[in-house]
Amino acid sequence: MANAGIHQIASQTVPVNASKHRTEREIVYCRVIVLIGSVILAHALSWEWLRYYTSELVRHVVLVRNLQLVRISPDTLAWGTEHFCYVTSCTFIDVFLGCLPLMWDLHAGVPRNAACISATAIGLLCLNITRLTAALALYRFGIAWWFADGVCGGIAYFAAWMALWRASAFGREVRGAFFVKV
Amino acid sequence: MYAPALAEYLGKQLLQGTLTVFKRYLTIVATCLASSLVLAQCIPIPNTGTLLNPSPNAGRCQVEADGSFCYLAGKDQSIPTGKCETQGRPGNWNCTCNMAGQPAPYFVLNPGFLANDMHTPGIMSGGIGLLAVNGFSGNVTVSCLVSGPIPAEVHPSCTLTPTAVTVGSIGGFTNLSVPIANLPLGNYTVQLSASSDDGTTDLTSMPLVISPPKPKESGGGIAAFLIFVILIAAWLLERKWRMLASTR
């Protein structure tokens, strides 16, 4: 009853569409604030186990392409005299934790959200291993490491963004709040 | 009443006396230091003749018990091309090595720097030049020996390509390569020696430092961020262009 009363008052003072867009904008701002917090949290932790497993996956994948990477420390692989250190951003954990507040659907239940998060985790893992392997392959062909790693990283970030934009609650809210005229 | 004045007088005297003693002591120390520096120049004094590009062991005035000799490129050059001017007396020779007459031809090893081979990971390589001095020409055999790091003395392998160099008027060149893939980190020394058919020799050494390489960090960094921003900007422009096209 109380909610109905508030809705009546709101609908009398401002148009329904404008109210809806304002609420969506507020939700978007909240999501962005939580996103920033998540990324800071991701980089505040060391994620040693994840760095190890990421590098181990890369090592096994490149082995298929006849590239022998030797483990010299839990987060470092060597190819000849070149050493490759896998830091936090190599694990894509910052991207994954940043995605969580953006993709959580407020209108869906916990099981559906959990399923979406699991699918996102698997998708990001595949995307991350692909871009790390591609960077190594480009480097092997003689391209400078900063460029090879940068290009693959930039494209992977953009691909993650596009997937988020098209499929997540955040994308729908931004499209509704900012790109549709009231 | 006179006590403060007396104390001041005594203090001044004490200070003056201390300064005088200190000055005298300083003079003695300076004299000793200068004397020892002059005496230290006795062995050995580099030649002051017409040598070109002398290597560290070339044209050296070697002081012996019965006089001094002028050594150049591993050989005694006192007669007829070199001359040692000896001053002083036995036990305290002071000599200079002046080259006279026809200058002796010799060669000098001129090592460059060892660096990681761009094409073969795990190999450090560098060029070794052989400079011909005073018109030297001939066949020179070059060899190398790597030692270190201290205290675990090991002798890793090294390769010179070629080992037999024909040195002409423009000199000669050989390439040194050291496999470092399985070597422990540390400071090594590469000793190079060369000898020609006529007995001319030269020795030199070069440092080989094997330090842990700076690991390359995966994960993108600034380049990835820039590429991401460029792609986002292009995507936004494309969206705007499409919206404009739909409104027309």
For chain A, give every domain's residue range: 16-178
Q: Which range scores top for mean pLDDT: A132-141, B59-68, B73-82?
A: A132-141
| Range with lowest mean pLDDT among A71-85, A112-126, A131-145, B124-138 | A71-85
Q: Is A178 on the interface with B (CB under 8 A)?
A: no
Nearest CA in chain B to A158: B228
A-B CB pairs within 8 A amount to: 97
Task: Give the mean pLDDT of A132-157.
Answer: 89
Q: Tell me, what's the pLDDT at B211?
A: 75
A87-101 b/e with 16+ CB inside 10 Å = b? bbbbbbbbbbbbbbb
* Cα–Cα distance measured from residue A52 to residue B21, given in angstroms and rounded to the nearest whole number: 71
Cβ contacts of B228 on chain A, cutoff 8 Å = 153-154, 157-158, 161
Return the DSSP state at B148.
B
Q: How many CA atoms lie within 13 A of A21 on its CB side?
A: 13
Answer whether residue B206 shows pLDDT above 50. Answer: yes
Residue of A nearest to B180 (CA): A81
More confident residue, A64 or A107: A107
Tell me the C-alpha distance between A61 and A51, whole Å.
15
pLDDT tens digit sequence for B36-52: 333 333 233 333 333 33
* Chain B residues with CB-CB distance to A84 below 8 A: 215-218
CATH code, B106-210: 2.60.40.3880
Alpha carbon B51 to chain centroid distance?
20
**Å from B238 to nearest chain A CA?**
14
pLDDT digits (tens, 9 = 90+) for B12-21: 666 666 555 5
Task: Indicate the domain borders of chain B.
Answer: 1-40, 42-104, 106-210
The single-letter code of the amino acid at A66 is: N
**Predicted confidence (pLDDT) at residue B32 exceeds the cutoff of 60:** no
Q: Confirm or reject contact between B180 and chain A (CB < 8 A).
A: yes
Q: How far is CA B233 from CA A154, A156, B196, B229, B236, in A?
A: 13, 16, 68, 6, 5
B221 interface with A at CB cutoff 8 Å? yes
Whether residue B58 contacts residue B51, with contact meaning beta carbons closer than 8 Å, is answered with: yes
- With CB atoms and an 8 Å threshold, state whether B219 touches A86: yes
pLDDT by residue (tens digit) across B112-145?
888 876 666 678 888 899 988 878 889 999 999 9
Question: A85, B218: Cβ pair inside 8 Å?
Answer: yes
Which value does ipTM take for this structure? Answer: 0.76
- Residue A53 contacts B, CB cutoff 8 Å: no
Q: Is the pLDDT at A174 greater than 60, yes or no? A: yes
Measured between CB atoms, does B115 come within 8 Å of chain A? Answer: no
